[in-house]
């Protein structure tokens, strides 16, 4: 009996010692976090959504682009179920491809659909001249509710941008080049209020709208030409987009929600024991550090790319016990790559605009990018993926301005997807010689 008492006493002492060790470890981790977060705050880093909100400049709330687009987006969202099948660029419809040709039947079906959206398009015509404004989000609630508000409201903006792209397409087909060109700046205006939203969802929609604007510009220059004044306006619109389009807001927001969710997780899952507290304390500091490395890149493409490569390596080292970090972080490098790809294609488009302005004067496209400097370009932009000047290639149809893309390899300007690749290996902009341009309409056997 005495032996059992001694064993029980030893177990009690051991448990007490384990408890003391756990408490000391938790206190140590909390002290480490307090020192780390205090250092970030001392450097002016916002760690909560309220801190992020305080960094943004005041914005008007009425008669703004944000107000108009939000109102129109709600109307478009309610009408989503009525989209007929097969409309160009919408839902399950075919992609718009001016390089391979457009289906005559799909054009007519798309034209009929767009005619039913004239009230919405008329309201979007009013965007020109309005102040940007801001998407309405309540930052005084828990982070998960802020995140939910983006999930609920932001996706409705995407169909608005698609609708504008379809409008530009049909105007180009109808020979209305001036109005088709004007849609490019309207597309960028329509999502300008998303530029400093601290959310990856807002960021991705912002990128998607720029992608449609880039396609619209490439389509127009595949079919016809644009006058010098319009080219300058489009170039200015893309320049403004780049200036406002920052990863920092997104990363600040993601870091804020990550920190708050880590703080809330033990309570939200009813796990209040010290072991769970230790795991979430470790996750909080590790995840915050990973995001802070991206933030420290300060939007500089080369630094952002380098930080993203380190992030990929760190993600592979995330312990299996860090379930929360293991779920949230793996998609993040892809977001960064999409941001850099977006910048690369915009750089290529701006060079193509300069090349087209050169052609309007010289009667031919340039034979190298150096011919554009300094009259049409102040300097050749740097490729975000290899920190070297953007690339130039010629073929029998015209020129290609491109970046090496995500694989970091110069594939000679392969910017369109082929049957052997799921994605184009390079990313950039195709500009045809003027005598090779034209509208290709496929009818009858041509469609086969």
Q: Residue 365 falls within a domain, yes or no? A: yes
pLDDT at position 375: 96
311 shares a domain with 257: yes
198 falls within a domain: no
Residue pointed to by tokens 């290899």: 386
Same domain, 306 and 371: no
Q: Give the chain's domain count.
A: 2
Q: Do 359 and 315 fall within a single domain?
A: no
In-domain check, residue 126:
no
pTM: 0.89
pLDDT for position 419: 43
Same domain, 324 and 393: no
> 358 and 443, same structural domain?
yes
Query: What pLDDT does 88 receive?
Result: 79
149: in domain: no
Residue 307 lies in a domain: yes
Q: Are residues 355 and 445 in the same domain?
A: yes
Question: pLDDT tens, position by position, for the chain (448 residues)?
Answer: 566 665 665 566 566 655 555 455 455 556 777 888 888 888 989 998 888 888 888 877 788 998 888 888 877 777 665 666 677 777 666 788 999 899 888 898 889 888 888 888 898 888 888 999 887 777 777 777 777 777 777 777 888 888 899 999 999 999 999 999 999 999 999 999 888 888 888 899 999 999 999 999 999 999 999 999 999 999 999 999 999 888 999 999 889 888 888 777 654 444 444 455 555 667 788 889 889 999 999 999 999 999 999 999 988 888 877 777 887 888 899 999 999 999 999 999 999 999 999 999 999 999 999 999 999 999 999 999 999 999 999 999 999 999 999 999 999 998 875 444 456 789 999 999 999 999 999 875 455 4
- Residues 430, 373, single domain; the answer is yes
pLDDT of residue 2: 66
Do residue 351 and residue 325 come from a single domain?
no
Q: Spell out the residues 6+ positions from residue 316 whose beta carbon is closer than 8 angstroms to its own.
A: none
Which secondary-structure segment (H or E) carries 398? strand 398-403
Considering 265, 295, 330, which residue would you say is the last residue of a domain? Answer: 330
Per-residue pLDDT at 317: 86
State the virtual CA torsion across 368, 373, 376, 382 in degrees, nearest 10.
80
In a domain? residue 135:
no
Domain boundaries, position 355 = 345-448
Helix H, strand E, coil C: the string for 354-390 is: HHHHHHHHHCCCCCCHHHHCCCCCCCCCECCCCCCEC
pLDDT given at position 277: 57
DSSP 210-268: HHHHHHHHHHHHHHS---HHHHHHHHHHHHHHHHH--HHHHHHHHHHHHHHHHHHHHHH
Name the DSSP letter for residue 96.
P
Last residue of a domain, one of 330, 364, 398: 330
Q: Do the domain assignments include residue 18?
A: yes
pLDDT of residue 26: 52
Domain identity same for 407 and 351: yes
Any domain includes 407: yes
CA 384 to each of CA 151, 246, 305, 336, 405: distance values in angstroms, whole numbers, following the listed order = 30, 14, 8, 11, 8
What single DSSP character describes residue 82?
A: G
Q: Which of 330, 363, 396 is the last residue of a domain?
A: 330
Report the sign of the C-alpha dihedral through residues 94, 96, 100, 103, in that order: positive
Tell which residue, 364, 346, 345, has the closest CA to residue 355: 364
């Amino acid at each position: 009996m005495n032996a059992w008492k001694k064993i029980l006493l030893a177990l009690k002492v051991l448990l007490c010692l384990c408890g003391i060790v756990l408490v000391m470890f938790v206190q140590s981790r909390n002290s480490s976090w307090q020192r780390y977060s205090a250092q970030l705050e001392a450097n002016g880093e916002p760690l909560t959504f309220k801190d992020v909100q305080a960094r943004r400049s005041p914005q008007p709330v009425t008669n703004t682009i944000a107000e108009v687009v939000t109102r129109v987006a709600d109307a478009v969202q309610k009408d989503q179920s009525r989209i007929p099948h097969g409309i160009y660029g919408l839902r399950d419809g075919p992609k718009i491809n001016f390089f391979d040709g457009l289906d005559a039947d799909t054009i007519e079906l798309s034209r009929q659909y767009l005619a039913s959206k004239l009230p919405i398009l008329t309201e979007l015509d009013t965007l020109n001249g309005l102040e940007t404004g801001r998407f309405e989000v309540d930052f005084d609630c828990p982070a998960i509710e802020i995140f939910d508000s983006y999930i609920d409201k932001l996706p409705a903006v995407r169909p608005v941008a698609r609708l504008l792209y379809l409008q530009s397409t049909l105007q180009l087909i109808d020979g209305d080049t001036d109005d088709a060109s004007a849609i490019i700046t309207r597309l960028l205006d329509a999502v300008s209020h998303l530029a400093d939203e601290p959310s990856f969802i807002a960021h991705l929609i912002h990128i998607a709208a720029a992608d449609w604007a880039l396609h619209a510009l490439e389509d127009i220059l595949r079919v016809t030409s644009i006058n010098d004044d319009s080219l300058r306006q489009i170039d200015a619109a893309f320049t403004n987009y780049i200036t406002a389009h920052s990863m920092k807001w997104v990363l600040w927001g993601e870091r804020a929600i990550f920190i708050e969710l880590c703080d809330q997780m033990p309570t939200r899952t009813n796990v209040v024991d010290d072991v769970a507290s230790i795991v979430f304390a470790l996750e909080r500091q590790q995840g915050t550090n990973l995001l802070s490395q991206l933030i420290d890149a300060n939007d500089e493409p080369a630094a952002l790319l380098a930080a993203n490569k380190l992030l990929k390596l760190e993600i592979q080292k995330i312990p299996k016990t860090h379930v929360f970090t293991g779920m949230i972080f793996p998609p993040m490098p892809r977001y960064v790559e999409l941001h850099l790809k977006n910048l690369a294609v915009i750089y290529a488009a701006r060079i193509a605009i300069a090349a087209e302005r050169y052609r309007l004067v010289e009667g031919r496209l340039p034979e190298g990018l150096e011919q554009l400097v300094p009259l049409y370009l102040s300097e050749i932009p740097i490729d975000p993926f290899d920190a070297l000047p953007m690339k130039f290639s010629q073929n029998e149809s015209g020129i290609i301005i491109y970046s090496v893309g995500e694989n970091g390899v110069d594939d000679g300007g392969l910017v369109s997807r082929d049957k052997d690749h799921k994605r184009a290996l390079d990313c950039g902009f195709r500009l045809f010689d003027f005598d090779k341009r034209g509208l290709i309409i496929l009818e009858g056997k041509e469609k086969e």
